A = this chain, B = another copy of it.
Amino acid sequence: MNTQEALDLLKQKGYKYTEKREHMIHFFVHENRYRTAKDLLENMEADYDGISFDTIYRNLHLFDQLGILESTELNGEKHFRLKCDHHHHHHFICKNCGVTKEIHHCPMEQINEELKQFMIEDHKFEVYGFCPSCR
């Protein structure tokens, strides 16, 4: 996912273009790692004094729902990152800086038999620790 694709998706779904939305997308494209609503807010405040929580949270969830962002819980706070758009994979996540590394192995392939009588809706496989620069 890049800035243009995200803006096109918004337009295609009937959502309006705003500078703040572009700025939000740009923030995540530039960061390319897991960040909190607070991180985003602080970044936005530098350019938009008095920006509302409403704008931040509403758009975060809109983007998450549209697949522009993906989200996970990290030390009790919701974190968001730009959606990776190639094939399905999982992440190693740095507990300190939120940076990720792709893991190209999905455990679901091996367990469908074990869960035959359950209705599987979703799964999460994440590895946590410290990246080379934070260790």
* Chain A contact residues, CB within 8 Å of chain B: 73, 76, 78, 92, 94-95, 101, 103-108, 110-111, 114-115, 117-132, 135
Contact = CB atoms under 8 A, between A and B. Distances in A.
Given A118-B129, A132-B118, A103 B111 contact: yes
B115 A103 contact: yes
Given A92-B118, A107-B105, A115-B101, A128 B123 contact: yes
| Copies of this subunit | 2
A115 B92 contact: yes
Given A73-B73, A92-B115, A114-B105, A128 B132 contact: no
A127 B117 contact: no
B124 A129 contact: no
A128 B135 contact: no
A91 to B, nearest CB: 11
B128 A121 contact: yes
Contacts of A132: 117-118
A104 B110 CA distance: 10
4 cross-chain pairs, A with B, having the tightest CB-CB distances, nearest first:
A107-B107, A73-B73, A121-B129, A120-B129
A105 B135 CA distance: 28
Contacts of A105: 107, 110-111, 114
